[in-house]
Amino acid sequence: MSDTSLKHLALIMDGNGRWAKERGLKRTKGHEKGAETIREITTYCSNHPSIETVTFYAFSTENWKRPKLEVEFLMKLLEKYLKNELSTYQEQGVRFKAIGDLASFSKSLQKRIRETEDLTKNNTKLTQILALNYGGRAEITSAVNTLIAEGKKSVTEEEISDALQTPYSDIDLLIRTSGEERISNFLLWQLSYSEFYFSLTLWPDFTAAELDEVIKNFEQRSRRFGGV
């Protein structure tokens, strides 16, 4: 079995801090530039003939360990991003969805997230998912606990998949930028048979042109899903 159609793309956006440091800038400037890259990549995906979903690892459960001021900036940047991107979502037919434990965020940010989800729910050209305060192990644990609470004595893979926060499709291609080669607790269940690509480019410098080249590489691969 071989399938090279790219329907669900996932990205670990790494390198914002190093991008800023190399230029003698504050780390926050790297995050601002990184947000612009999200827009560029989302626009590319919305115009791609086969991509249906793009998932960005925006804030992990471990990112709370960063300096308090940086975390506070990231929260404000996210709220600003969603406010500014709403018109783009509507123009490009992009549905916005957030996954992760949002309860730790401020009430205003939670409201902004839910409002953006609601206002874009009927858009069908592309689904953009932001993983926020997200951890793959936590997502699987939550899904299993949900099934236990429903009275399940044993569960199937299909039932776990349906109970996850991301009941869309398995990931076809995962890209991580900045040269790091690990998945950092991201979409552990959904990455079972994904193709991986590790780019040396820091996230703020990652472009739609490079993504296009990565996808061409992906399309040349043979995906056998355990077969021959």
Which residues are part of the catalytic machinery? 14, 63
Q: Are strands 53-60 and 8-12 parallel, antiparallel or unpaired?
A: parallel
Segment (H or E) for 55: strand 53-60
The set of residues, in sequence order, having a beta carbon less than 8 Å from that of 104 and lying 6+ positions away, is 64, 133
Q: Are strands 8-12 and 173-176 parallel, antiparallel or unpaired?
A: parallel
C-alpha to C-alpha distance for 191 and 215, rounded to whole angstroms: 17
Helix then strand count (H, E) for the chain reads 7, 6
Contact 203, 15 (CB under 8 A): yes
Establish how many alpha carbons lie within 13 A of residue 72's alpha carbon, considering only the half-sphere containing its beta carbon: 3
| Residue 91 burial (C-beta neighbours within 10 Å; 0-12, 13-18, 19+) | exposed
Q: Are strands 126-134 and 53-60 parallel, antiparallel or unpaired?
A: parallel
